[in-house]
Structure 1
Amino acid sequence: MRIGEASRVSGVSARSLRFYEDEGLIVPGRFDNGYRDYCRSTINRVLVIRSLLESGLPVRLIREVLPHLSDGPEVGTGPLDADFLAEVRSYRARLADRIAVLSAQQSALDAFLHRARQHGP
């Protein structure tokens, strides 16, 4: 299927599909006229990539883990490198730290708004 249909089927923009290709995350086939040809396994890979991006993993880590993932709709993993897993754990810890900071800021704003309601209009 061409890029427009692949975009519609996957729910990922054509621009994102081109980005995934530029980053080496997918390798669509090519028609004789040079147009991209997305097969079902490439669409499945796009769905995995989108899921990983939504989880917050950076493209660099996604590129590293993709060879260990199956292309089917049921994503399974093969053996993953211990260094890679340590890096994902570290990324998750940094994310948890950011969440804690944002939660504290949200609580401070809630307290401010509560006090403002008591003293104002």
Structure 2
Amino acid sequence: MRIGEASRVSGVSARSLRYYEDEGLIVPGRRGNGYRDYCRSTLDRVRVIRSLLESGLPLRLVRDVLPHLAVGQPAAVCAEFVREVERYRDGLAARIAGLEEQRAALDAYLREVRRAAPQP
């Protein structure tokens, strides 16, 4: 199928499909006229890529894990990849904790301002 239909079927924009191709994540076939031709297995891979990216994994980690997922053996993912994902997750947790501290400080500030403000 051509890129417009592939976009509709997969729920991923045509621009994202081109980007995934540019990044070497997918390799759609080509028709005689040069148009991209997406098969069902490529669209399945697109869905996996999208899911991994939406989970917050950076593109470099998605690129690393795709070959293992392609052969249907997620357990074959190397220990180093798992450590990378854990480090990424831990970094997210640290950023979240920092944001929660900032929010608490802003809440305290707003309480103080409201308490000090003259009542109408």
TM-score by length of 2: 0.89
More helix by share: 2
Deviations 1:42-97 (A, max 9, x none): 111111111111111111110110011148xxx86141111111111111111111
Give the number of the structure whose alpha-carbon radius of gyration is greater: 2
Q: Among the aligned pairs, what percent are the same residue?
A: 67
How far apart in 1 are the matches of 2:24 and 2:75? 20
Q: Equivalent residues in 2 for 1:84-95 (5 A)?
A: 84-95=81-92
| Cross-structure match for 2:24 | 24
How many Å apart are 1:119 and its aligned residue?
2.3
Runs of 4 or more consecutive aligned structure 1 residues displaced over 4 Å after TM superposition: none
Secondary structure, counterpart of 1:90 in structure 2? helix
How far apart in 2 are the matches of 1:45 and 1:56? 17
One-letter amino acid matched to 2:40: R
Gaps of 5+ in 2: none
RMSD of aligned residue pairs (Cα, Å): 1.7
One-letter amino acid matched to 1:105: Q
TM-score by length of 1: 0.88
How far apart in 1 are the matches of 2:105 and 2:14? 41
Count of residues in correspondence between the two structures: 118
| Cross-structure match for 1:104 | 101
